[in-house]
Amino acid sequence: MDTWIGLMSGTSMDGIDAVLVSFRENAVRIHDTHSIPYPEHLRHRLMLASQNQATPDEVGELDTLTGVIFADAAETLIRNSSVDKSSIRAIGSHGQTLRHQPSGPSRFSLQIGNPAIIAEKTGIATVGDFRSRDMAAGGQGAPLVPAFHQFFFGSKTEDRCILNLGGIANITWIPSNPASPVTGFDTGPANALMDAWCLDQTGRAYDEDGHWAQEGIVDQAMLSDMLSDAYFDRPPPKSTGKEKFNLGWVKTLVQRHGETRPEDVQRTLLQLSVITAVRQMPQSPAMTVYACGGGTRNRLLMGELSQALSPIRVLDTAELGLDPQWVEPTAFAWLARQTMERKPGNLAEVTGARGPRVLGAIYPA
Ligand SMILES: Nc1ncnc2c1ncn2[C@@H]1O[C@H](COP(=O)(O)OP(=O)(O)O)[C@@H](O)[C@H]1O
Ligand SMILES: [Mg+2]
């Protein structure tokens, strides 16, 4: 039996999620999992770098430091697992995005966390740099999870919308009719703005369970101003990141609306995440929405989502056999398998690429 490792850290920069999995037909078996939060000082430096506040020397150093932590995550996962190490065919490492600029004259998407270090420390072939080939083929380089969502969550009887609530939210629409295309794109912020405002105002990295937001009320004028951002009306393909949806974006809006309590802003940002996701979903009364990512642990967010979508059902991906925390790292284990087998990992209709492409760079064992 071949096994695969997936390593993921998203725009939230909260830390690395690692899985050891195997695949059979359309089934996934998770053998072991491991998470490592970034040390606070590293997270802070990554945040600064992601805001363009780092020299090339610093970016190089961060590439090494995160590469070592990604490798540590894989090594701990392997050490604590009863799975035979020799069965592990490859590690798929998304890396840590520092910047994602999918449009403009010189498009790029920069992930750090040197895969050479992971391959060297583990002795296992490592696939990294998943986004750049899709971008070279004219695509957004994102989102890349929809192909895996289709593989694992596709159903012949139910239209499904997978909603990933990371720092940024992305949806994958999987119609039950195989003749209809799978579509997907980033809908905008999920946790990114809430985290940024919470950190700025309270010093806490995120608003646990939405408790703080719960104390506030939605500022309707500010919300409609936020909703007027052109990103939300743009047709797909589209993808975004913290280059756009960041603390500066929030502060500009807050300043425009004068006296607002900080908890009201937090509540408004939560509502923004809900409404932008819901409005951009296909209007299909028969679908079921399955959520994944860290945002599923925010009870207020999930409650508001259910209310906004009612009577459409909102569940999380555990209902389909995959815990919400492990969907993304499992997707990168699957993408590594696609690469090793020289199969495409992108969905061209999602990213806008000229066609399907074998993604990533292989760092041999
Ligand atoms: N208990 C919780 N309450 C509220 N938010 C949470 C909770 N647990 C995790 N989160 C949110 O989930 C984020 C991490 O989600 P994740 O899916 O790892 O995102 P990313 O892919 O961007 O790293 C955290 O930054 C935080 O905003
Ligand atoms: Mg994360």
Q: Is 195 in the pocket of ligand 1 (CB under 6 A)?
A: yes
Q: Which residues partner with 314 through β-bridges?
A: 289
Ligand 1: atom nearest CA of 293 is 17
Query: How far is residue 25 from each of residues 29, 144, 152, measured CA to CA in Å?
Result: 11, 20, 9
Query: How far is residue 342 from each of residues 127, 274, 345, measured CA to CA in Å?
Result: 12, 38, 9
Give distance in angstroms: CA of 134 to centre of ligand 2.
23
Q: Provide the 8-state DSSP code for 26.
A: T
Give distance in angstroms: CA of 63 to centre of ligand 2.
17
Ligand 1 pocket mutation pick from 163, 297, 304, 330 by most atoms within 8 angstroms of CB: 297
Q: Is 293 in the pocket of ligand 1 (CB under 6 A)?
A: yes
Ligand 1: atom nearest CA of 209 is 3
Give the model's pLDDT for residue 283. Answer: 87
Q: Where do the DSSP E strands lie in the chain?
A: 3-9, 15-24, 27-37, 88-101, 108-112, 126-128, 160-165, 168-174, 183-189, 288-292, 313-316, 361-363
Q: Is 295 in the pocket of ligand 1 (CB under 6 A)?
A: yes
Q: Give me the torsion for CA of 223, 145, 143, 174, rounded to 10°.
A: -70
Give distance in angstroms: CA of 265 to centre of ligand 2.
23
Fold (CATH) for 3-141+325-363: Nucleotidyltransferase; domain 5 (3.30.420)
Is the distance from CB of 141 to CB of 131 less than 8 angstroms? yes
Q: Is 241 in the pocket of ligand 1 (CB under 6 A)?
A: no
Residue with the smallest CA separation from ligand 1 atom 25 is 12
Q: Is 114 in the pocket of ligand 1 (CB under 6 A)?
A: no
Ligand 1 pocket mutation pick from 100, 191, 326 by most atoms within 8 angstroms of CB: 191
State yes or no: cis peptide before 115, omega within 30 of 0: no
Q: Is 67 in the pocket of ligand 1 (CB under 6 A)?
A: no
Q: Is 6 in the pocket of ligand 1 (CB under 6 A)?
A: no
Supply the CATH classification number for the domain 146-320: 3.30.420.40
Q: Is 360 in the pocket of ligand 1 (CB under 6 A)?
A: no
DSSP calls for 227-273: HT-GGGGSPSS----TTTSSHHHHHHHHHHT-S--HHHHHHHHHHHH
Give the model's pLDDT for residue 259. Answer: 83
DSSP calls for 136-191: HTTS-----THHHHHHHH--SS--EEEEEESSEEEEEEE-SSTTSPPEEEEEEESS
Domain 3-141+325-363 matches domain 146-320 at the CATH topology level: yes
**Residue pointed to by tokens 């105002």:** 201
Q: Is 329 in the pocket of ligand 1 (CB under 6 A)?
A: no
Ligand nearest to the CA of 195: 1
The Cα 126–Cα 49 span in angstroms is 25
Give the model's pLDDT for residue 258. Answer: 83
Nearest Cα to 243, choosing from 167, 156, 349, 351? Answer: 167
**Amino acid code (one letter) for 280:** Q
Is the distance from CB of 21 to CB of 28 less than 8 angstroms? yes
Q: What pLDDT, in 10s, does the model give residues 174-203? A: 999 999 999 999 999 999 999 999 999 999
Domain boundaries, the chain: 3-141+325-363, 146-320
**Amino acid code (one letter) for 300:** L
Q: Is 11 in the pocket of ligand 1 (CB under 6 A)?
A: yes
Is the distance from CB of 226 to CB of 253 less than 8 angstroms? yes
Residue with the smallest CA separation from ligand 1 atom 23 is 10
Q: Is 12 in the pocket of ligand 1 (CB under 6 A)?
A: yes
Ligand nearest to the CA of 292: 1
pLDDT (tens digit, 0 to 9) for every residue of the chain, 365 residues total? Answer: 999 999 999 999 999 999 999 999 889 999 999 999 999 999 999 999 999 999 999 999 999 999 999 999 999 999 999 999 999 999 999 999 999 999 988 999 999 999 999 999 999 999 999 999 999 999 999 999 999 999 999 999 999 999 999 999 999 999 999 999 999 999 999 999 999 999 999 999 999 999 999 999 999 999 999 999 999 999 999 999 999 999 999 999 999 998 899 999 999 999 999 999 999 999 888 999 999 999 999 999 999 999 999 999 999 999 999 999 999 999 999 999 999 999 999 999 999 999 999 999 999 99
Give the model's pLDDT for residue 194. Answer: 98
Q: Is 191 in the pocket of ligand 1 (CB under 6 A)?
A: yes
Q: What pLDDT, in 10s, does the model give residues 12-47? A: 999 999 999 999 988 999 999 999 999 999 999 999
